[in-house]
Amino acid sequence: MITEQRNPNSIDIDLKSIAEIVEIFHEEDRKAVDAVADQSDAISFAVEMIVDAFSQGGRLFYIGAGTSGRLGVLDASECPPTFSTEPELVQGIIAGGDIALRKSVEGEEDKRESGAQTIREYALTPEDIIVGIASSGRTPYVLGALKEAHKIGSKTIFLCCVPPKAELNAYIDHFITPIVGPEIITGSTRLKAGTATKLVLNMLTTISMIKIGKVYDNLMVDVNASNTKLVERSIRIIHTVTNVDDTTAQATLQESDGSAKVAIVMLTKGIEKKEAIDLLEKHHGFLRPILTKNESRE
């Protein structure tokens, strides 16, 4: 397997200086970025699948073991604060459960039936979509989960860093395969493979959120203003879009119960919170058509 091969660029790495090792990391990390770029079409299609699932009331699940599982959980956990999504919309599952986020539970990844059982426990439906993450392309827990999800009728995507085996086509609908090559430390897929995985996951959720109206321009207008930093960010976003002063932005943010998007509609249309919410619902949460159309009280 590619992920288990020795990297000729890091032979005798223990004899090299720190500066030389840093340069090796730079050289190899660029390969990870290039490998993800080579998968642009596959990533685009996966995003289309996810957006379609969301439009039908479906959810997005990530599932993986070890580093792959942790990266999936990380990406999923960032969606509620960044985009004010319900926690159920994007979920990360790791072999061994939440304890495996901090402590290695390596044996769980070898249990195909555990992966299948996890899918049953999460009650996936045909409207849902699941992304299995396994750098090696062979983790039994992940493959068991994908096969069970396919039986249920959920759409299945497999993210791996090796060419996939042909038999996987029987229950995997789509593949994303950034081939990053051998790791600097042989077999340590938390390195380039982990970097490539994080880059792909960034795009899957972020672009999907853009396409369901969670972003206006390049601003996270659906940010959940749940702490001081995010309140301040919300005020800046309101100011940027509406050009009101910070005092007005802050006051309107409070009136909107912390929703920058609702506050922006209130200010630009001169309406109250409920009317702003109704207007957003009319436009399925998209802010741009409201700001570009000449409509107010409706």
CB atoms inside a 10 Å sphere around CB 104: 11
Catalytic positions are: 78, 109
Residue 90 per-residue DSSP state: E
Give pTM, 2 decimals.
0.92
Is the separation of the CB atoms in 62 and 201 below 8 Å?
yes
Contact (Cβ atoms closer than 8 angstroms) between residue 56 and residue 126: no
Q: Per CATH, is 2-211 categorized as 3.40.50.10490?
A: yes
Instruction: Check if 2-211 and 228-292 are the same fold.
Output: no
- Measured between alpha carbons, how far is 74 from 129 in angstroms, rounded to an integer? 18
Which residue type sits at 41? Answer: D
Ranges of each domain in the chain: 2-211, 228-292
Residue 169 burial (C-beta neighbours within 10 Å; 0-12, 13-18, 19+) = exposed
Q: Is the Cβ–Cβ distance between 92 and 62 less than 8 Å? A: yes
pLDDT tens digit at each of 298 positions of the chain: 898 999 999 999 999 999 999 999 999 999 999 999 999 999 999 999 999 999 999 999 999 999 999 999 999 999 999 999 999 999 999 999 988 998 877 788 889 999 999 999 999 999 999 999 999 999 999 999 999 999 999 999 999 999 999 999 999 999 999 999 999 999 999 999 999 999 999 999 999 999 999 999 999 999 999 899 999 999 999 999 999 999 999 999 999 999 999 999 999 999 999 999 999 999 999 999 999 876 544 4
CATH of domain 228-292: 1.10.8.1080
> How deeply is 274 buried, as exposed, middle or buried, from its count of CB atoms within 10 A (0-12, 13-18, 19+)?
exposed
